[in-house]
Chain A
Amino acid sequence: MIFLALMLGTGLTVLAAFYDFPGPLNAVVALTIACLKATLVVLYFMHVRYSGRLIWLVIIAAIFWLAIMFAITFSDYWTRNWLPIS
């Protein structure tokens, strides 16, 4: 029945997420909450907490590769305008 409490908790975070916006940080807040919720689902609903190292490795690999894709693509876009124009 841990699950029930967990679900209520996630439900509450949703409510908190869409009325409370502290300035420019709201993207960070929204994403942090999303990540937390995802982590809870992964750990408990998907039993990863009780799974072997291999499953952990699979998940970490997925996140790692996603990070590669984002980080390196943005290394292009962020530095587009760094060269002096003439």
Chain B
Amino acid sequence: MPEGLAATHEHASHPALRHHFENMEQQREAGTLGMWVFLVTEIMFFGGMFLAYTLFRYEYPAAFVSASNHLDIKLGALNTGVLIVSSFTMAMAVYSTQIGRQKATIICLILTMILGATFLGVKAIEYHDKYNDQLIPGQLIPWRPFNPEVAKPGDTDPHKLHLIEGATTQNVQLFYWIYFAMTGMHALHMIIGLGIMTVILIMAWRGKFSPEYHAPVEISGLYWHFVDIIWIFLFPLLYLLGRHLEHGG
């Protein structure tokens, strides 16, 4: 498919065309492929953590269920919704650029960023809850080490850790370690995403994009959707699995 592509000379060279590409089509294709290849490395990056998660879930099912049940499912679900909507607005931003509606693009981008920030805000609340419940693993916060209060049978205080049979706080700590590693890494990606969005927004504001040249919006869209997909997997794995054993077992 790329053969001969370079040979077909573009009508007039676009100002955004870099010198080493033959035409806009080649440049766009290189950019898109580049982002996809980058996303592959991201998949493998998270893959290592997913592997650790799966392994320890396999070895310590009870502790993982107990720890998972302590997470706030409402906030988790809310965040899932927020991210999916943001993915949608992002898709709309790409669509608007393609048909050349600058104003719609800008609105969609701003919406996406607001939603992204909302997600991070909710995440911060969740982290703070964990901080209060002394669930931040190990000595990560030196003055507040991992030391959750374990609930006695019958106690329904949601701030205490409800261990089901076979669970130990030590293995619960392992869950939280993975939880913070994965969601933290995900949040970091969100922050980077917001940075990219800011740049794209400025470019859109200055009218850099047109139906002929919209690759940057499209490519950052790919990144944003990818971050969404990671969360789509994190949510059930961290929050949902074993929820049916809550307070029972």
A and B touch in the complex (CB under 8 A): yes
Which of A21, A41, A61, A62 contacts B244 (CB under 8 A)?
A21
The majority secondary structure among interface residues of chain B is helix
Which of A11, A17, A45 contacts B236 (CB under 8 A)?
A17
Enumerate chain B residues within 8 angstroms of A54, measured Cβ to Cβ.
1, 33
Q: How many Å lie between the Cα of A26 and that of B244 in the bound state?
A: 8
Interface residues of B in 218-239 (CB under 8 A from A): 218, 221-222, 225-226, 228-229, 232-233, 235-237, 239
Contact indicator B47/A14 (Cβ below 8 Å): no
Contact indicator B241/A3 (Cβ below 8 Å): no
Interface size class of A (residues with CB under 8 A): 35 or more
Return the chain B residue nearest A20 by Cβ: B244
Interface residues of B in 23-79 (CB under 8 A from A): 32-33, 36-37, 39-40, 43-44, 47-48, 50-51, 54-55, 58, 73, 77
Which of A14, A44, A51 contacts B91 (CB under 8 A)?
A44
Tell me, rounded to whole Å, the shortest Cβ–Cβ distance linking A76 to chain B. Answer: 10
Q: Mark B188-232, 1 if CB is under 8 A from A, else 0.
A: 000000000000000000000000000000100110011011001
Contact indicator A11/B51 (Cβ below 8 Å): no
Which of A17, A46, A77 contacts B225 (CB under 8 A)?
A46
7 closest A-B pairs by beta carbon, nearest first, are: A21-B244, A30-B236, A62-B40, A45-B91, A7-B88, A62-B43, A58-B36
Pairs across A and B, CB under 8 Å, 5 listed: A10-B84, A34-B237, A41-B229, A54-B33, A66-B43
Which of A34, A47, A58, A69 contacts B232 (CB under 8 A)?
A34
